[in-house]
Amino acid sequence: MQNKMITLNSGTEMPMLGYGTYLIPPGETAKSVLAAIETGYRSIDTAKAYDNESGVGQAIRNCGIDRGDLFITTKLWNSDQGYDATMRAFEKSMNRLGLTYLDLYLIHWPTPRCNNYVDTYKAMEKLHRDGRIRAIGVSNFAQAHIEKLKEQCDILPAVNQIEIHPWLTQQDMVAYLQSEGIAAEAWSPLAQGAVLGEPALVRIADKHGKSTVQVILRWNIQRNIVVIPRTTKPHRMADNAEIFDFALDDDDMRAIAAMNKNHRTGPNPDTFHWDSTCG
């Protein structure tokens, strides 16, 4: 399987095409992740909130691939924010994954109402300095949240994983991240399938002899955005990887950019919280 690597600001190399595990049931995770690894995927994205870290860990142990050849990401959930809580949550995630070190650890949401993501990030900095995490970053952070980390913390986030798809192109945010040396990573790159019938995408797909899914994934890669599509079907895992044998031209890129509606399928980072007390 072909892939492309991006060098994070920590010096760590990350595959630009990875495998996402959101909404894969715990009982099916090990089988699906193992199939993805067998297909050639080397980057696996999970989170405490997905309740499937243990399944990811089982697949890692059974896949026969050297740990150093895999790139594993997980995320800290909102209710675990705060310095001490982050330290405890990290160890629990590592136990579920069965790992001695993590490639990338992300704060899942900024939850600005609680306003404790700076302390959370400082704990992650400590874990990074101790060699437990190769790169640290954030997810769903707006520019203001990142600027606050820049002011009060020492290590610039390596990655910001945000919702990106043709209806939410995030042009300004991606430009900001890349100007800061922060890698943009797209979740929900297909807008949960809602964009696949867009006439412009169908036309571009027909032009290149590809599917609309492959066009969208290629569009991200050409914008230097990491992408982590999810599927439990091995043939679709293989299809999703067939994006390195063609290139979109400038007209294609402009046509997809013109589809932007600033439409989110997920929560707004500036307002999203969760049903719990802070800390």
Q: For the chain, what is the radius of gyration of the CA atoms?
A: 18
Query: Counting every residue, how long is the chain?
Result: 279
The angle at the Cα of 103, spanning 97 to 109, to the nearest 5 degrees, equals 80
**Residue 61 contacts residue 37 (beta carbons within 8 Å):** no
Query: Does 176 participate in catalysis according to the annotation?
Result: no
115: left (phi over 0), alpha (psi -120 to 50) or beta: left
How far is CA 261 from its chain centroid?
22
Q: Which of 19, 22, 41, 50 is catalytic?
A: 50
Side-by-side strand order, sheet with 43-45: 19-20, 43-45, 71-76, 102-107, 133-139, 159-163, 183-187, 226-227
| Angstrom distances, CA of residue 86 to CA of 19, 81, 125, 278 | 25, 6, 11, 13
| Token digits of residue 150 | 């820049």
Provide DSSP, 61-83.
HHS---GGG-EEEEEE-GGG-SH
Catalytic sites, residue numbers? 50
